Structure 1
Amino acid sequence: MWPEAGIASFQCPTKLIFGVGAHEQLADLVREHASKRLLVLLDPALADSAIHRKVTNLLAQSDVATAVFSDIDAHPNDSTVRAAFELSREQRAEGIVALGGDSTIEVAKSVDLLMSSLPLISIPTTAGTGAAVAGDSAITILDPLTVSAMPAHDAAYAGIDAFVHAFESYLSRRATVFSDAMNLHAMTLIAGSIRAFVADRNNESAALDMLCGSSMAAMSFGVTGLGNVNCMATSVSSLFPVPHGLASAVCLPHAAAFNAPASPERYARIAAVLGIDGSGRREAQGGAQAIHGLRALCSDLGIPPRLRDVGVDKDQLDELARRSFASDHSSCNPRLTSEQDFRDLFRSAY
């Protein structure tokens, strides 16, 4: 049974098209929706990329007029959305295509809402938070070719971030049998492929596993919520220029150790997902085994072990604890966490 039995729900309205070369389905999808004028939201880093050229050629061959908006930074604000919305109105857009990472896709989703829900097709170029399947993104194309240009460190940070989503969603007090199935498979896909993907982003099999695993995790955590790792990482990234995925990776073993006593049987299953043979050992050892596996995974990916190693100031640990406790991100955490607990966690991670 899941942690808090009772009435629950689970849904994901996004249609997924996935596989090597799946981006070639774009022309058929545009024709299916009879869209002849499109707004294309583009990550600026992809302006000269092979995947952008392929998408542009597909749309041109389909006789579709496009207006491209690429003035999108890592933290887009309301003015970014308004500018993209104005271009969409000028274009008289009949559909939206988003090609890029989470920021690009979130802007596209915001514009889509303002345009009263046009057909929206997202083509994510990272395998991280799964923004393309979180919320009401209508169609998402998962193609390993779109993530082949990711730098190794970005692939590691995004991949661990995706694993954390599945990990914390699985441990959530709001987990259900449906989210459990998604999260266990998501962790299996990510843990089994992230090393190979970071080593070679052109490894199509590993890349597809990462894309699918991150999407499964995203489908679930919107229902179950997350826990202390996400809470701590959000606080770190709000005060310091540390990527959220990197902050999550550094905090992961420490928050995992804190939560282990609350879910020993689930930690035993996580240890198995991480490739640790627990046969013949007591379930109570699952926590230690899982934490060992998490530390090994982060180490193999070159993740710095301490917050001090990524530029966090020791004088700000109390403020990080205050912010973490004040947020509601830890409300689904399997173990109740006080402000002092957060203070101890940050000191441990430092």
Structure 2
Amino acid sequence: MWPDVGISSFQCPTKIIFGLGAHERLADLIGERAIERLLVLIDPALLNSVIHRKVAGVLAQNDVASAVFSATDSNANDSTVQAAFKSSREHGANGLLAIGGGGTIEVAKEVGRLMPSSPLIAIPTTDGARSAVTGACAIAILDPLSVGAISAQDAAYAGIDAFVHAFEAYLSKRATVFSDAVNLHAMTLIASSIRAFVADRNNVWAALDMLCASSMAAMSFAVTGRGNVNCMATSVSVLFPVPHGLASAVCLPHAAAFNVPANPERYARIAAILGIDGSSRREAQDGAQAIHGLRALCSDLGIPPRLRDIGVTEDRLDELAQRSFAADCNDFNPRYTSEQDFRALFGSAF
């Protein structure tokens, strides 16, 4: 059935190039856009990594003068953006290339807004590639060779976070037939590949599935918004030093169970994606099997089951509930959630 969302739209302005060895397309992209001087923004940990060396080789072979800016961190704060912009001006750059995680790509996007005539190309190096396909990126290159250095733990956190993006967008009150198509396939790719990728980050086909799926999941944010899991995880990460993906994974089964009554038919589809046998139709429809599948996925990836296991303290649960309610996800989340509901959810997860 069509949700009552009125007139909607769906677009992803970013050009996406994906596949094993996709970084080699840099030569064509640089030529097409007449880039002669390039500022390369890169995570400090990736300096002289395999992907950095390969990209540097492509740039050298095409006579592109490049300068490297590596003073990035997880936050695109004003001082970092200004420092990167200064480097671009000093180098005379007419193009930007970001190699790294969300923090580096976000810094590059902010610099790109100060250089509107300079194209921005992003090569994400985690399996949570949403920054590369949202906002100001003109081109995203999804190459499985770029994610081999990520740790198993970070791969699990980023991968589950990407699944949550697709999961919540699919359940959103503002979902459309276009966002459904993208998010269903994103969940299918992640469910079938995340275990293999976490076990071996050099499994290039599982890595490519994860990169593509996380990008797909990010495409519909502007249309669908996100729900309770994101509200809860964001609140946790603000108050405690917990990665957003880990917080999302711990909160996921609890928030998902709360939302079942709003759209049980969609949970049956999710259960099938998670590989749960729907022979008991009643259980599949009431969401029990989908929740079981979510818990099993998190467990297989070594995600701790409780908030207390990741450093959250009971004395902050009220504040977490207040923050989550104030974030106001009720325009998107399929079931209305009061501050008291959030308190109960945090209590359940604790």
TM-score (norm 1): 0.98
Equivalent pair of 1:236/1:320 in contact (CA under 8 Å): yes
Aligned counterpart, 1:128: 128
Equivalent pair of 1:75/1:103 in contact (CA under 8 Å): yes
Q: Which amino acid is the alignment partner of residue 315 of structure 2? A: D
Aligned counterpart, 1:194: 194
Cα-to-partner distance string for 1:220-242 (whole Å, 9 max, x where unaligned): 12321000000000000000000
RMSD over aligned Cα atoms: 1.1
5 Å-filtered alignment, 1:18-29, equals: 18-29=18-29
SS of corresponding position for 1:75: coil
Q: Which amino acid is the alignment partner of residue 83 of structure 1? A: A
5 Å-filtered alignment, 1:78-117, equals: 78-117=78-117
Aligned counterpart, 1:3: 3
Unaligned ranges ≥5, structure 1: none
Post-superposition offset of 1:178:
0.1
Aligned counterpart, 1:146: 146
The count of aligned residue pairs is 350
Equivalent pair of 1:147/1:201 in contact (CA under 8 Å): yes
Distance in 2 between residues matched to 1:102 and 1:231, nearest whole Å: 19
How has the CA–CA distance of structure 1 residues 329 and 303 changed in structure 2, closer, same or farther, with 3 Å as cutoff? same
Cα-to-partner distance string for 1:58-101 (whole Å, 9 max, x where unaligned): 10111111111110111231111011111111111111000001
Does residue 1:179 correspond to 2:176, yes or no?
no
Post-superposition offset of 1:48:
2.5
Cα-to-partner distance string for 1:93-126 (whole Å, 9 max, x where unaligned): 1110000010111111110111124111100001
Distance in 2 between residues matched to 1:223 and 1:112, nearest whole Å: 24
Distance in 2 between residues matched to 1:51 and 1:280, nearest whole Å: 47
Distance in 1 between residues matched to 2:40 and 2:113, nearest whole Å: 15
Overall identity of the aligned pairs, in %: 76
Q: Which amino acid is the alignment partner of residue 14 of structure 1? A: T
Distance in 2 between residues matched to 1:182 and 1:317, nearest whole Å: 35
Aligned counterpart, 1:247: 247
Aligned counterpart, 1:35: 35
Moved more, 331-340 or 122-131: 122-131
Distance in 1 between residues matched to 2:278 and 2:3, nearest whole Å: 22
Distance in 2 between residues matched to 1:314 and 1:290, nearest whole Å: 28
Aligned counterpart, 1:69: 69
Distance in 2 between residues matched to 1:57 and 1:309, nearest whole Å: 44
Q: Which amino acid is the alignment partner of residue 249 of structure 2? A: A
Aligned counterpart, 2:237: 237
Distance in 2 between residues matched to 1:87 and 1:347, nearest whole Å: 48
Distance in 2 between residues matched to 1:279 and 1:27, nearest whole Å: 52
Moved more, 3-12 or 226-235: 3-12
Post-superposition offset of 1:327:
1.1
Q: Which amino acid is the alignment partner of residue 319 of structure 1? A: E
Equivalent pair of 2:129/2:211 in contact (CA under 8 Å): no
Equivalent pair of 1:124/1:132 in contact (CA under 8 Å): yes
Post-superposition offset of 1:329:
3.5
Q: Which amino acid is the alignment partner of residue 335 of structure 2? A: R
Distance in 1 between residues matched to 2:272 and 2:253, nearest whole Å: 16
Post-superposition offset of 1:129:
4.9
How has the CA–CA distance of structure 1 residues 271 and 319 changed in structure 2, closer, same or farther, with 3 Å as cutoff? same
Does residue 1:305 correspond to 2:295, yes or no?
no
Distance in 2 between residues matched to 1:294 and 1:266, nearest whole Å: 14
How has the CA–CA distance of structure 1 residues 158 and 175 changed in structure 2, closer, same or farther, with 3 Å as cutoff? same
Q: Which amino acid is the alignment partner of residue 144 of structure 1? A: P
Post-superposition offset of 1:286:
4.3
Q: Which amino acid is the alignment partner of residue 125 of structure 1? A: T
Aligned counterpart, 1:211: 211
SS of corresponding position for 2:220: helix
Distance in 2 between residues matched to 1:330 and 1:84, nearest whole Å: 37
Q: Which amino acid is the alignment partner of residue 298 of structure 1? A: C
TM-score (norm 2): 0.98
Aligned counterpart, 2:55: 55
Does residue 1:285 correspond to 2:285, yes or no?
yes
Q: Which amino acid is the alignment partner of residue 331 of structure 2? A: S
Post-superposition offset of 1:284:
6.1
Distance in 2 between residues matched to 1:284 and 1:272, nearest whole Å: 9
Distance in 1 between residues matched to 2:241 and 2:330, nearest whole Å: 22
Equivalent pair of 1:269/1:286 in contact (CA under 8 Å): no
Equivalent pair of 2:134/2:218 in contact (CA under 8 Å): yes
Equivalent pair of 1:156/1:198 in contact (CA under 8 Å): yes
Post-superposition offset of 1:287:
0.7
Aligned counterpart, 1:331: 331
Aligned counterpart, 1:227: 227
Moved more, 193-202 or 73-82: 73-82
